[in-house]
Amino acid sequence: MRAKDLLLVTLREPPAEAEIPSHQWLVRGGFIRRVASGIYAYMPLMWRVLRKVEAIVREEMEATGALELRLPALQPAELWRRSDRWDTYTAGEGIMFNLTDRQGRELGLGPTHEEVVTSLAADLIRSYRQLPVSFYQLQTKFRDEIRPRFGLMRGREFIMKDAYSFHADEEDLRRYYGCMDQAYRRIFSRCGLKVLAVQADS
């Protein structure tokens, strides 16, 4: 396919709001277009790239035995209240978009899916013999960022791959963590990226 067939429109100069090189290159190269603060349209060339990356992610996740699913973006407040995270995520500077439906029920647009997947696991897993089990998804997430910036790095709507696993004991969890670590390293390598693992602060 030729560039003109992809409606590839490039810019000579990056827009003023593009603060970091990755954001500047994506906008200048015609990969993304800003719709509103923290909200971007993925243009045809970017969508082709994303589909290739998603294919790599799926291959590597399936090699670990993880099961792909699709969890709802719209989540009931009750699930979040059970984990005591509804107020944290919605009040004050919370990052969850929330709304009330026609019946007066509170809902949130999921910035993450721990509440939903643990509720499903509690309903579906009946015996330790079903463990370990791991789920993953590639899905659009929403976060009501106070100050969206850095292009796709800190937007209000973005695509994220998340995974959740359930184990009978800590030893199996550690084993599976190592398996996932290697899967992520293969994903990055296949995408041509060099990575350095660092200790997380949480």
Report yes or no on 178 lying in a domain: yes
pLDDT of res. 90 = 86
pLDDT of res. 64 = 96
Query: What pTM did the predictor assign?
Result: 0.87
Report yes or no on 83 lying in a domain: yes
pLDDT of res. 3 = 63
Report yes or no on 106 lying in a domain: yes
Contact criterion met (CB below 8 Å) for 167 and 132: yes
User: By CB neighbour count within 10 A (0-12 exposed, 13-18 middle, 19+ buried), where does 18 fall?
Assistant: buried
Q: Which domain holds residue 88?
A: 48-190
Which residues contact residue 71 at a Cβ distance below 8 angstroms, ignoring those fewer than 6 apart?
110, 113, 116, 117, 120, 137, 139
pLDDT of res. 152 = 82
φ, ψ of residue 181 to 5 degrees: the values are -55, -45
> Mean pLDDT, 10 residues at a time, over the chain (202 residues)?
71 81 89 91 94 98 97 95 91 86 95 95 95 96 86 88 96 96 97 90 71
Distance CA 127, CA 74 (A): 29
Report yes or no on 2 lying in a domain: no
Report yes or no on 30 lying in a domain: no
Report yes or no on 124 lying in a domain: yes
Report yes or no on 117 lying in a domain: yes
Q: How many domains does the chain have?
A: 1
pLDDT of res. 143 = 92
Distance CA 86, CA 78 (A): 8
Report yes or no on 130 lying in a domain: yes
pLDDT of res. 18 = 81
Tell me the CATH number at 146. 3.30.930.10
